[in-house]
Structure 1
Amino acid sequence: MPGETQDKEIATKAVVTGLGETTALGGDVTSTWEAMLRGANGIRLLDEEPWANELPPQIGGRVRVEPGPGLEPLQRVRLSRTAQLAVTAAAEAWSDAGLDGAELSPQRTAVVVSSAVADMAALLDGWEALKSRGWNRVPPLTAPLSMGNASAAAVSVLVNARGGAHATVNACSSGTQALAMAVDLIRRGTVDVVVAGGAEAPLHPMILSSFAAMRALSLRVDDPASACRPYDVGRDGMVLGEGAGILVLESERHARDRGARIYAEVAGVGISSDAYHLVQPEPNGTGTAMAIRASLADAGLTPADVTHLNANGVATAAGDTAEARGIREVFGDASQGPAVSANKSMTGHSLGAAGAIESITTVLALHHGMVPPTRNFTRLDQDLSINVVHGRPLKLEGEQVVAVKTSAGFGGHNVALTFRGVPAGRCQPESR
Structure 2
Amino acid sequence: MASSVTSPLCTPSIPHLSNFRFTKTEDTFNCKCRGFSDSCFSQRHNQPSPSFLSAFRGSRLDYHCNPDRVGGFGFLGDKNDNDFLLLGSNSAQRRLNRPLRSGGAMAVAVYPGKEVATKKKPPTKERCVMVTGMGVVTSIGHDPDVFYNNLLEGRIAGEIKSFSTDGWVAPKLSKRADKFMLYVMTAGKKALANGGLTDEMMDELDKTRCGILIGSAMGCMKVFNDGVEALRVSYKNMNPFCVPFATTNMGSAMLSMDLWWMGPNYSISTACARSNFCILSAANHTISGDADLMLCGGSDACIIPIGLGGFVACRALSQRNDNPSKASRPWDKKRDGFVMGEEAGVLLLEEFEHAKKHGAEINAEFLGGSFTCDAYHMTEPHPNGLGTVWGSKDDVNYINAHATSTRAGDLKEYQALIHCFGKNPELRVNSSKSMIGHLLGAAGAVEAVATMQAIRTGWVHPNINLENPDEGMATTYQSSFVPISDLSAALSFALENAE
Fold-level match, TM-score > 0.5? yes
What residue number does 2:254 align with? Answer: 154
What residue number does 2:480 align with? Answer: 392
What residue number does 1:128 align with? Answer: 229
Query: 2-side partners of 1:362 and 1:250: how far apart?
Result: 18
2:398 to 303, 308, 325: 308
Does residue 469 of structure 2 align to residue 369 of structure 1? no
What residue number does 1:80 align with? Answer: 178
Structure 2, unaligned stretches of length 5 or more?
1-97, 100-121
Higher CA-based Rg:
2
What residue number does 1:41 align with? Answer: 156
Does residue 417 of structure 2 align to residue 352 of structure 1? no
Give the TM-score, by structure 1 length. 0.83
1:109 to 165, 185, 210: 210
CA deviation string 1:31-55 (max 9, x = no partner): 211110101012x3xxxxxxxxxxx
Query: 2-side partners of 1:390 and 1:282: how far apart?
Result: 29
Amino acid at match of 1:407: A
What residue number does 1:54 align with? Answer: none
Q: Give the deviation of 1:159 after TM superposition.
A: 2.8
1:63 to 145, 160, 185: 160
Shift in CA distance, 231/9, structure 1 to aligned 2, threshold 3 Å: farther
What residue number does 1:408 align with? Answer: 495
Shift in CA distance, 411/344, structure 1 to aligned 2, threshold 3 Å: closer
Give the TM-score, by structure 2 length. 0.72
The answer as to whether partners of 1:275 and 1:411 remain within 8 angstroms in 2 is: no
Query: 3-state DSSP class of the match of 2:383?
Result: coil
What is the RMSD computed on CA atoms of the aligned residues?
2.0
Q: Which moved more, 1:387-396 or 1:241-250?
A: 387-396
Query: 1-side partners of 2:477 and 2:349: how far apart?
Result: 28
2:365 to 248, 256, 265: 265
Query: 2-side partners of 1:143 and 1:160: how far apart?
Result: 23
The answer as to whether partners of 2:140 and 2:147 remain within 8 angstroms in 1 is: yes
CA deviation string 1:111-147 (max 9, x = no partner): 000011111221111010001x211111011112111
Query: 3-state DSSP class of the match of 2:334?
Result: coil
What residue number does 1:31 align with? Answer: 146
What residue number does 2:378 align with? Answer: 278
Query: 2-side partners of 1:172 and 1:157: how far apart?
Result: 26
Does residue 443 of structure 2 align to residue 328 of structure 1? no
Runs in 1 of length 4+ with deviation above 6 angstroms? 5-10
Richer in helix (by share): 1
2:187 to 80, 89, 92: 89
Query: 2-side partners of 1:228 and 1:347: how far apart?
Result: 9
Q: Which moved more, 1:236-245 or 1:249-258?
A: 249-258
Q: Give the deviation of 1:157 after TM superposition.
A: 2.4
The answer as to whether partners of 2:272 and 2:498 remain within 8 angstroms in 1 is: no
Shift in CA distance, 10/378, structure 1 to aligned 2, threshold 3 Å: farther
Query: 3-state DSSP class of the match of 1:165?
Result: coil
Q: Which moved more, 1:191-200 or 1:146-155?
A: 146-155
The answer as to whether partners of 1:27 and 1:64 remain within 8 angstroms in 2 is: no
Query: 3-state DSSP class of the match of 1:92?
Result: helix
Q: Give the deviation of 1:388 after TM superposition.
A: 6.2
Query: 3-state DSSP class of the match of 2:371?
Result: strand
2:275 to 175, 194, 200: 175
CA deviation string 1:317-371 (max 9, x = no partner): 11101110110001112x5461001001111111000100000000110011111
Between the two proteins, the alignment pairs up a number of residues equal to 376
Query: 3-state DSSP class of the match of 1:267?
Result: strand
Structure 1, unaligned stretches of length 5 or more?
45-61, 413-432
Amino acid at match of 1:356: A
Shift in CA distance, 383/329, structure 1 to aligned 2, threshold 3 Å: same
Query: 1-side partners of 2:174 and 2:473: how far apart?
Result: 45
